[in-house]
A and B are shown apart, each in its own frame.
Chain A
Amino acid sequence: MPKAVRLADLAALTPSERDTIVERVVKDDLGPSNGSGAATAARIRAFEQRYEVSSETLLEELRTERRKETAEISEWLFLLQLQRQEAGGG
C-alpha cells in the first residue's frame, strides 16, 4: 500500500524536496493498484459484513428507499465508485 503524504507537512519543505515527494507519489501511481485495490475491496467487505448485506443489496435498498444514505453508507458508496473507477467503469 503506497504511503500517504500529509499535505500539511509540505509547507516546511524546500521546492526541491517538495518536487521529490510529488514525484514519488506520481511514481506510486504509475504501477498497478496492488495493495490499494485490495485495501478498498477489504473495506467494502467489512461494510458488507457489518450490515449483513451485499453491495448489490445495499444499492437495491437505497433505490427502494428501504435504507437511508447515512455518512457510513456514503463512505461505502464512495468505495464502490473507487472500485468501479479501478475496473475502468467510470
Chain B
Amino acid sequence: MGSSRKVRLAIKHEEDFVRLKILGNPGVECVHVIAKELKTALDELATETIMWDLSELKQMDSALALLIVKDIQRAENSEIEVLLSPMEHDVEKMMNMVKEHAHFDSTFEPQDKGFLQSVGEDSIRRLKDISAFFGFFGKMSIVFFNSFYDLRHLRWKETVFEIYESGIKALPIVALTMFLIGVVVAYQSASQLKIYGANIFIVDMLGISILRELAPMLAAIIIAGRSGSSYAAQIGVMKITEELDAMRTMGFDPYAFLVLPRMLALMIMLPILIFFADIAGVIGGMLIAKVELGLSPSLFLDRFVEVVKVKHFWIGIVKGPFFALLIATIGIYRGLQVKNDTQSIGFNTTKAVVESIFAVIICDAFFSIIFTNLGY
C-alpha cells in the first residue's frame, strides 16, 4: 500500500491526446486523491481523446480500477475516444475483471416514503403492537389459570430460582436506596419543621409517606430497572438463538417455563421487598430525627404506633403484586417482541424499562384515587 502523498494523477497534453498517468501505487485508502484530481481535470478534457497510462502500476486495487472503468464508460458514452497504454499482466487482469463485474447503476438506498405513507405505516404498526400485547396477555392468562387448576403443572423449581434471582438478590440495593431516601426526606423536612417547632410531626410525615407511597414506588422502580430489563434481554436473546423454538418443539411451553415463573416470583417478592423497604426507610428517617431534631428512637416509635395507622402499611403492600404483574408482563412481552437483529434487543430492553416504570406510576395514581375515594 502506497502512502497517499506519492499518489498522483499526472495530466499531460500531447499531440493527439491527453495522457492521464497514475503515479505511485495507490491502495484503496488513497484512491480518493485520484478521484478528486480526475474530477477537476474532467472539465478541461471535455472533447479530447484520452489516453490512460497505467504502465507504471505493478498491481492495481479494485477501487482504482472501478474509477478508471467508470470514466472510460463515461467518455465512450459521450463519444470521446479512449486509449489504454500497455500494462502489467496483473493490472490487465484486474481491469478485465472489473469490466465484467461492475454495476454502476445499482442503488442500495431505501426508497423514500411519503409523509402519508410513513404516518399510515406507523399507525398500523402501533395498533398491531397493542393487539399483540393483548394477545400475549390472553395467552398468559390461559397458562396462568391452567397452572392453578392443577398446581403440579406449575414450575416450582424455576419459580424458586427466580425468587432468589430477582427478589432476594435485589434486597440489599432496595433497602440501601430506601434508607437513603428516608434520610433525604427526613433531612429536608426536618429543617422546615424546626422553624415551626413541630419536630414531633416528622414521625407522621415520614411514616405515612414512606409506607404508603415511597417504599412501594421505589421498590417497583428498582425492580423494573433490574428485572424488567433482564427479562426482556434474556428472552430476546433466547428468541434470536432459536432457544424458544427449541423449547416449543420439545413440548416445553415457553409461557409455562419462562413467563409464569418470572411473573409469580415477582408477585411474591415485590410485597416482601416493599416490607423491607419500609423498615429501611423508617430507620433512615429515625436516624435523622435523632441527629437533627433530637428525637430519640423510643419516642419516635411510640409516636409512630400512635399516629401511623396500620392501613397505610397494608395499602403499600397491596400495591406490590399489581406493580409486579405490570413489570413482569411488560418485560417479558418486550423480550418476545425482539426481532432477528441485535439492535432490537437494545431497543426492546430500553422500552421494557421505560414502559414498566411509566405503567407503575399510572397504576399508582389509580390506586391513590381509588383508596382516597374509598375513604382509606
A, B in one complex:
no
Interface residues of B (CB under 8 A from A): none
